[in-house]
Amino acid sequence: MKGKELNILYVDDEVNNLVAFKANFRKDYKVFTAESAAEGFEILRKNTIQVIITDQKMPNMTGVEFLASLITEFPDPFRMILTGFADIKTIIDAINMGKVDRYFLKPFNKEELKKTIDDAFEIYYLREEKKKLVEKLMEVNDQLEFILRQKLLS
C-alpha cells in the first residue's frame, strides 16, 4: 500500500493497552490513541482515519456505542472491536448497531491482528475506489441521457 495513508485510531480506557498497541504497530502505521470516546472524536475530526479499533468495555460509552455514534459523521473507516470480554449479545450489537467489520479478543495475536489491519486498509481503499467509480459512472450516465434527449428532440 505504498504511497497511501495508513492511519489507525485505537480507543481504550486502559493506558497500558494503548502503549502496547502503539509499540506493536507504530512502525507499520501511523497510530493515534485515545483514552475515551470523546478523545477519539477529536482525533477523527482532525485526521483522516482509515481504521478504527476500540475496546468494548469503557466508562461512559461502550465500543459499540462509540462506533454506532460515528456512522453519520464518519461512515467510511473500517471498524473493529478489540476486547477481553465476549458474549453473543455484544457481538450481535457490534454488527447491527456499530457496523463492526471484525471482532477480536484480547490478548491479541500480533500477526493475526496485523494481517487483519492490512486487509482492512485494502478494503477501505477498495471502497473508496468503488465510490469514485460509481460517481464517474453516474456522471457518464447523465451525459449519455443528455445526448439521448438532444437526439430525440432533433
Q: Tell me the CATH architecture of domain 7-153.
A: 3-Layer(aba) Sandwich (3.40)
CA angle, 79 then 15 then 120, to 5° = 20
Specify the pLDDT at position 25: 96
For 17, half-sphere exposure in the C-beta direction (CA atoms, 13 angstrom radius) is 22
Specify the pLDDT at position 94: 67
CA gap 105, 112 in Å, rounded = 11
**So where are the chain's domains?**
7-153
pLDDT along the chain (154 residues), means of 10: 84 95 95 96 96 93 92 93 77 72 86 94 93 95 90 80
State pTM to two decimals: 0.85
**Residue length, the chain?**
154
List of long-range contacts for 128-136, beta carbons under 8 Å, 24+ apart: 128/76
Enter the C-alpha cell of residue 110.
500480533
- Are 52 and 31 in contact by the 8 Å Cβ rule? The answer is no
Maximum alpha-carbon separation in the chain:
72
Residues in Cβ contact with 47 at an 8 Å cutoff, skipping those fewer than 6 apart:
7, 9, 32
